[in-house]
Amino acid sequence: MTTTREPTLVLGLGRSGVAAARLLIRLGATVVGYDRDPESGEEIRGLAGRLSGAALPDFDDFARVIQSPGIPVPSDPRVVPEVELAAEHLEAPLIGVTGTNGKSTTVVLIDEMLRASGLRVSTGGNLGTALCELVDVPADRVVAELSSFQLEHARNLRAAVAVLLNLAPDHLDRHGTLEAYGAAKARLATLSAPEGVLVYNADDPWARGVAARAPARPVPFSTQQRLASGAFLDGEALVLVENERTRIRVDLQNLSPASHSTLENALAASAAACAAGASPDGIALALSRFEGLPHRAACVAVRSGVRYVNDSKATNPTAAARSVESCEGPVVWIAGGRNKGLDLTPLAEAAKRVRLAVVYGEAERDLEKVLEGACPVVRAQTFDEAFAVVVERVRSGDTALLAPGCASHDQFRSFEERGERFTELAQALGPDRLEASC
């Protein structure tokens, strides 16, 4: 590991910032930490770093500025995202995954495919562990979920395998426009090296456009078309074809229910894991065992014939609409929270198949305007009040669906906390036990 004595500013002293500070201090850098929360940063002092005080320091005083993803900053050649700092010092090849929807599921699938193939794997980034914490952890591969916040100022991030899933409006309160948001995510591909691999969604216009100008070798995947080369659905099988040779073939009947419900992610993960050295048997085994992730279209209870489905991770209108459309039978839908500067009108079409929408939180009035005429709408101020309305109005055979279409931060610390509250309330209903049919 190389060392440096250069003065370095770490912006943001949460999980990513503290991990970056630890790594920098181990490398010998002089570290100054800054956070908007004056109570943050005690760990930096304990690590032999110092705090800047209440005012944001002048960037000119530092050789590098390490940016935590939660801290927006203007473009500056000294700014280095925490994930790029980590990537400079990772010894194992990096597999990076980005896109609007499905990143975490794809990352976990790749991880499980590589592990099932006998490789040592570390996983982090936007999912779980900060990437700087993985430096010096023994691994054959590192798999990272990468958000637009982590990529927007990247200049030297080189992934051995880059994965582009899809683009839909999200985080426009930070990026301003869909074009800027897409450009941030595209950096994972446009910064790739010619010897790298780019796995991309051939069904997504944004991903196709990025792939056409990226230097890495392109490997497409598709749920909608047969491909001469790439990962696609061949009748009742998932296949990966390279140079007219079938590398992987897995019958869909051998996929776990969670894998079968996320075929787009299963295809992307299969192509990426294969490029990263997973075996066909390891990929097939992982697809048969995958159990899905919490807070993603998870049935958490069945009470009096009503299925309660927690899709708290559906934090933008595109994801929420897909969640509604995937439900069978009548739907009573909880939507709301804090809008991220997004156009909510795409929810209106999905709402036409909803029996009742219960909207809550900061976005309740905007959601009511969008959904009126598409389905009956009831407003509630708090999440618990919204859930109580659902309980009063559901009937046997309904799906009570939490697919918010908005961020959680008006009433919860995270989408996980919101999903846990939904699960807690659902499982506390009535005398029924949690039914196996869930």
Closest of 327, 342, 328 to residue 403, by C-alpha:
327
Q: How many domains would you assign to the chain?
A: 3
259 vs 266: CA distance, rounded Å: 6
Query: Of the candidates 226, 257, 289, which is a domain's last residue?
Result: 289
Residues 57 and 105 both lie in one domain: no
pLDDT of 243: 86
**β-strand 197-201 against 161-164: which pairing, if any?**
parallel
32 vs 51: CA distance, rounded Å: 5
Closest of 359, 351, 355, 369 to residue 406, by C-alpha:
359
Q: Is there a domain that residue 194 lies in?
A: yes
112 vs 311: CA distance, rounded Å: 22
pLDDT of 1: 42
Q: What phi-psi label fits residue 152: left (phi over 0), alpha (psi between -120 and 50 degrees) or beta?
A: alpha
pLDDT of 436: 45
Tokens of 58: 């002048």
Residues 283 and 169 both lie in one domain: yes
Residues 379 and 414 both lie in one domain: yes
Q: Is there a domain that residue 120 lies in?
A: yes
pLDDT of 335: 98
Beta carbons of 400 and 308 less than 8 angstroms apart: yes
pTM of the model as a whole? 0.88
Q: Please, what are the averages of pLDDT over each run of 10 residues along the chain (438 residues)?
A: 70 91 91 78 58 76 94 93 98 98 97 98 95 97 98 97 97 95 98 97 98 98 96 97 93 94 96 98 98 91 95 96 94 97 95 97 97 96 98 97 97 97 94 53
20 vs 15: CA distance, rounded Å: 9
419 vs 425: CA distance, rounded Å: 10
Q: Is there a domain that residue 437 lies in?
A: no
Q: Is there a domain that residue 136 lies in?
A: yes
Closest of 277, 25, 264, 261 to residue 143, by C-alpha:
277
Q: Using H for helix, E for strand and C for coil, what is the string for the chain?
A: CCCCCCEEEEECCCHHHHHHHHHHHHHCCEEEEECCCCCCCHHHHHCCCEECCCCCCCHHHCCEEEECCCCCCCCCCCEEEHHHHHHHHCCCCEEEEECCCCHHHHHHHHHHHHHHCCCCEEEEECCCECHHHHCCCCCCEEEEECCHHHHCCCCCCCCCEEEECCCCCCCHHHHCCHHHHHHHHHHHHHCCCCCCEEEEECCCHHHHHHHHHCCCEEEEEECCCCCCCEEEEECCEEEEEECCEEEEEEEHHHCCHHHHCCHHHHHHHHHHHHHCCCCHHHHHHHHHHCCCCCCCCEEEEEECCEEEEECCCCCCHHHHHHHHHHCCCCEEEEEECECCCCCCCCHHHHHCCCCEEEEECCCHHHHHHHHCCCCCEEEECCHHHHHHHHHHHCCCCCEEEECCCCECCCCCCCHHHHHHHHHHHHHCCCCCCCCCCC
Residues 164 and 262 both lie in one domain: yes
Query: Of the candidates 77, 102, 128, which is a domain's last residue?
Result: 77
Residues 35 and 112 both lie in one domain: no
Beta carbons of 190 and 154 less than 8 angstroms apart: no
pLDDT of 373: 93
Residues 322 and 227 both lie in one domain: no
> Would you tell me how many other CB atoms lie within 10 Å of the CB of residue 317?
28
pLDDT of 37: 74
pLDDT of 3: 47
Residues 102 and 46 both lie in one domain: no
Residues 418 and 391 both lie in one domain: yes
Q: How are strands ordered across the β-sheet holding 30-34?
A: 50-51, 30-34, 7-11, 64-67, 79-81
Q: Give the bridge partners for 309, in sequence order.
A: 299, 401
What CATH number does the domain containing 148 carry? 3.40.1190.10
pLDDT of 437: 54
pLDDT of 9: 93
Residues 282 and 310 both lie in one domain: no
Residues 225 and 89 both lie in one domain: yes
Greatest CA separation for the chain = 66
Q: How far is residue 179 CA from its own chain's centroid?
A: 19
Q: Is there a domain that residue 438 lies in?
A: no
Query: Of the candidates 77, 102, 118, which is a domain's last residue?
Result: 77
pLDDT of 39: 65
Q: Is there a domain that residue 374 lies in?
A: yes
pLDDT of 35: 83
Q: Is there a domain that residue 354 lies in?
A: yes
What CATH number does the domain containing 73 carry? 3.40.50.720
Residues 252 and 228 both lie in one domain: yes
Residues 372 and 275 both lie in one domain: no
pLDDT of 13: 86
What CATH number does the domain containing 355 carry? 3.90.190.20
Q: Is there a domain that residue 241 lies in?
A: yes
Domain span at residue 282 reads: 84-289
